[in-house]
Amino acid sequence: MASSTKSVLLLGPSLLLGLCLASACGGDDPKPGGEGDATRGDVNIRRQLDAELDGSDQGVEGDAESADAPIVIDPDQGLVREVDDCVSACQVFADCGRLDAWAGQLENCRAACEASGDNPILGDFYTCVAVTSCEDLHTCVPPPPPPANCSDVCEAGAACPPGDGSNGTIDEAIPREGGCAAACADPTWAGDVTRCGEGVLAATCDFGELTGCLLESEFGDCYEACNRLAECDRPEADDLIECTRACGGFADAEEDALRRYRHERRTACLATSNGDCGRVAVCLSARGPVVVGEGTIEQLCEANVACPFFALETCAEDAAVALAGLEDSAIDCLITNLTDACLDGEIYACFVPASRAANPCDEHCLIGDLCGLLPNGQTEGACSVACQAALDGEDAGARLALEAGFACDGGASCAEVEACRDLGELGPRCDAVCVEQVACVLSDDAVRCAADCVQGIGAQRGQAGLRCVEAAVSCAGVERCLPPVAPDCAALCALTSACGEDEDECLVSCDDSDFADPDWFLPQLACAASTSRCSVVLACAGGELTPGEACLADCRRQLDCAGAPADEAGASQCLLECGLGQGGQEGRDMELASACLVLAADDCAALDACLVVDRQATGCETVCGELDRCVLGDGGCVDACNASWDEPAIIDSQACTLHAMRRLEGCAPVASCNGIEVAPASAACASTCGAVIACDDQQDSFLCERACDVDASGDDVRAACADAAACDELGLCLASDGSIPMACDEACAALELCPGGLGDGAAFADTAACSLDCGGRAILEGEYPADFGACVTQLSVGGACGAQAVNDCIALGNIDPICAASWDAVVGCGFEMFVGGGQAMYFTDCMANLVLDEAATRMTAQCMIDVGAMAGGDPAACFGLIMCFAGGLPM
């Protein structure tokens, strides 16, 4: 909170300095001679010599520091004590009766001493034993054994008996060429083998733990990635060791920057998939070193001999260019088509481009930077900015050039991307392929063909067709490259865009979805056309297609069962007419038979039978029931319906009512269908019910408005409440009597002193508008009028009465409770004088900081609340508030 903390924090550094001076900043000194002190024996020697020899007139002859000279000092007996190995050292302990450290056993002492092996400070132990009195002999302790090393692990592993097939040998357990000896020759591997080989040294002879530890240490994310693959039974991880080594080896050996990048990104994705096999599949869809396709360029060109698609002489080169930027499975698709479906297959389906990034400019420029394809001097960041500007701009040529470049960015390597980008700009490419189509008598208008080509390049269909025709060497191949015409995506996207979906994005995703699955489009269109509720439209896109089943069945009856030729355009038109509702006898019959049609499904005889059943009784009951639900019935509806069942006007009104019911349109269309005029709701009720529907489109706005209009008093206040309320608070607004607290009138009257409070361009048009708003907010927060009034008064006194300042006061009604409680702590400690802008600015800043960093702001506020509660107004204790900020917590 910029303004409110700056003044408080002026005291922070001094407080922090005082705390620093009052605290001990140093650590504990090491205790000489303590456990683990390698020089302890030497210290003991000096201490013992000083104690025993100080003041003595008896000297020590010879060089006392010579490691080879025998020790001849015996402070206790005056005898020569010679100690130069474990046997003699332990004999001294035995002679002194000090074997208590080894359970009284001389053998235990020798074993502990000999376990020290070639530890370089073993000689210090001998010296200590030689010069130390029997009383202090317990201070002489043999050093620990030297730490194990890589060779020790290898020796221990080699001593293990042969495994049963799963255990193997120590060399097989080391996941690198050359086994254990080669690993020990590498300093990095040697350290890891030593650290990971504890179990082997403990003679468990289970090498699995050793292997896993080494794989994790040496290969990091690769080991985690292969484990995740193995958990999902992916064949790539059938051999976990080979999977991990191959992954790590690729990263080390690959020279192509883009292949390394894709590999690292996919490996990290897999490593963090946390056992989610769906996530694993998504990770694997990204380009990486493991190619999904199993075929080779050589196999493709062999198939090309029997069924020429590429030029025979340059097949390998042409195929490599054609495959650049395509899905990994493209090569297998091409081999299968040329082998099994020559001249008959849908070869265009093999030319699907690799998945496009969510933010194509960022990906495009990153790849350009990695592969050295950016213009001289341009950075990746500058490229992204220019790319996005071109996409958002009005230069169609620049956008098309980018689209062509985006289509290349799925390439698995820099060489592939560069070869794809070298194909040239999109316009000339479309011109060239359309000239070919005209020459092959596959198009009669090259200009229109080229325009369609450019227009459709944003979708996979257009990209696949273009790339395929460019690769084809003959008219037969060109013909096989022309994908079917896209469906009427504009009709579908008009329906979804009314519910907030971006229409341009919808057109591309619709085309791509239909290209990937030709059976996708019609059920989607039937579903979206069969409802007016956006929640249902969006559910259709998610796969909940039930609303469209009746229309799909009826159009199947009208078209397929009637022997009409397959025509997606005709089917689309039928579905739109059915979904939106038809009038007349046919429309009423269809609506009444909808449940029967769904059950009949593909059975043409059953579908036809649904339409000949007499449903008069059911129809009258259904229509009149809906009129009653909408409070539009007059009590004699069923009798009147039966009496006029065959009248054209009644047929139309009933068809209209029935399709309004199927489409979940609510009661307003039902009233219109039956010619019932209803007075429009008041503006306040319309506003209130608009807020209700925005939160839950399953509510009926017509019924909401009728209920609202029953009692007009308080409608304006309830509308103001609904306008300020969150969805879960609307019930409070609807249940209120709509009265305005007197405190609201008083606060709004104070605004007359604020230039930014009332009038044109101010927060409110007049005091009445202010009171309505205040009354609405008071329903949601009982303390709002008082807080709003105090804020306005403070502004008036301070002379800062601009429109923004008043709007900040208005926002007080929705402050988070933790902001209010922390302000109480400031006031309780008398620190409000340090907060610039007072309570209004404090609340404004607190709410803003909750948006910027909610967790840290709540931590700061809670700290203030706790300090304020413990301080109880004590000035000294209140300075703890400053530490809530000085600790790095924002406010």
In this prediction, residue 66 has a pLDDT band, given cuts at 50, 70 and 90, of very low
What is the structure's pLDDT at 761?
Answer: 81
The pLDDT of residue 439 is above 80: yes
Question: What is the predicted pLDDT for the residue at 756?
Answer: 80
Q: Report pLDDT for 72.
A: 40
pLDDT band for 233, please (50, 70, 90 cuts).
Answer: confident
Q: Which residue did the predictor score with more confidence, 174 or 650?
A: 650
pLDDT band (50, 70, 90) for residue 279 = confident
Is 264's pLDDT higher than 90? no
Query: DSSP letters along 534-599, please?
Result: HHHHHHHHTT--GGGHHHHHHHIIIIITTTPPP-HHHHHHHHHHHHH---HHHHHHHHHTHHHHHH
**Confidence bin at 67 (pLDDT 50/70/90):** very low
More confident residue, 176 or 666: 666
The 8 Å CB, 24+ separation contacts for 156-163 are 156/197, 156/200, 156/201, 156/203, 157/197, 157/200, 157/205, 157/207, 157/210, 159/203, 160/200, 160/203, 160/205, 160/207, 161/205, 163/205, 163/207
CA separation for the pair 116, 113 (Å, rounded): 6
User: Where residue 80 falls among pLDDT bands split at 50, 70, 90?
Assistant: low
pLDDT digits (tens, 9 = 90+) for 532-565: 889 899 899 888 999 999 999 999 999 999 888 8
Report the percent of the chain where pLDDT is more than 90.
26
**In the predicted structure, residue 312 carries a pLDDT above the cut 50:** yes
Q: Write down the pLDDT at residue 855.
A: 83
| Mean of pLDDT values over 413-440 | 83
Strand boundaries in 565-694, DSSP class E: none
Instruction: Tell me: pLDDT of 771 over 90.
Output: yes
Domain extent listing, the chain: 40-139, 161-285, 297-480, 489-673, 815-891
pLDDT band at 292 (very low <50, low <70, confident <90, very high): very low
d(CA 16, CA 885): 11
User: Residue 779: its pLDDT value, please?
Assistant: 92
The span from the CA of 621 to the CA of 84, in Å, is 114
Assess whether pLDDT exceeds 60 at residue 49.
no
Per-residue confidence band for 424, with pLDDT thresholds at 50, 70 and 90: low
Please state, in angstroms and rounded to a whole number, the distance separating the CA atoms of residues 778 and 741.
8
CB-based burial, 416-441: b 16+ in 10 Å, e otherwise: bbbbbbebeebbebbebbbebbeebe
pLDDT computed for residue 32 by the predictor: 34
Tell me which of 237-241, 252-256, 389-393 is least confident: 252-256
How confident is residue 303, by pLDDT bands cut at 50, 70 and 90?
very high
Is the predicted pLDDT of residue 58 greater than 90, yes or no?
no
Q: Which pLDDT does position 22 carry in this prediction?
A: 31
Q: Contact 83/89 with Cβ under 8 angstroms?
A: yes
pLDDT digit string (tens) for 686-711? Answer: 999 999 998 988 899 999 988 887 66
pLDDT at residue 567, rounded to an integer: 82
Query: Which residues have CB under 8 Å from 828's CB, separation 6+?
Result: 868, 871, 873, 878
Phi and psi for 144 in degrees, rounded to 5?
-70, 165
What CA–CA distance (Å, rounded) separates 823 from 804? 21
Instruction: Tell whether the model's pLDDT for residue 885 goes beyond 70.
Output: no
Does residue 526 register a pLDDT over 90? yes
Mean pLDDT of the region 74-86 = 67
- Report how far apart, in Å, the C-alpha atoms of 260 and of each of 249, 287, 371 are: 11, 10, 11
Three-state SS annotation for 779-821: HHCCCHHHHHHHHHHHHHHHCCCCHHHHHHHHHHHHCCHHHHH
Q: What is the mean pLDDT of residues 359-370?
A: 88
Write the pLDDT tens digit of every residue in 112-128: 888 887 777 888 888 89
Binned at pLDDT 50, 70 and 90, residue 73 comes out as very low
Examine the pLDDT at 60 and tell me if it is beyond 60.
no
* Candidate ranges 20-24, 813-817, 881-885; pick with highest mean pLDDT: 881-885
CA-to-CA dists, residue 96 to 42, 49, 91, 106, 856, angstroms: 21, 19, 9, 12, 67
Residue 146: the pLDDT is: 76
Judge whether residue 435 has pLDDT over 90.
yes
pLDDT tens column, 448-494: 999 888 888 778 898 899 989 989 999 999 999 999 989 999 999 99
pLDDT, one tens digit per residue, over 717-753 is: 999 999 988 898 999 998 888 899 999 998 888 888 7
- What b/e sequence results for 189-202 when a residue is b if at least 16 CB atoms lie within 10 Å of its CB, and e otherwise? bbebbbebbebbee
Judged against a pLDDT cut of 50, whether residue 29 lies above it is answered with: no
Q: Does residue 592 have a pLDDT over 80? A: yes
Average per-residue pLDDT in the chain? 80
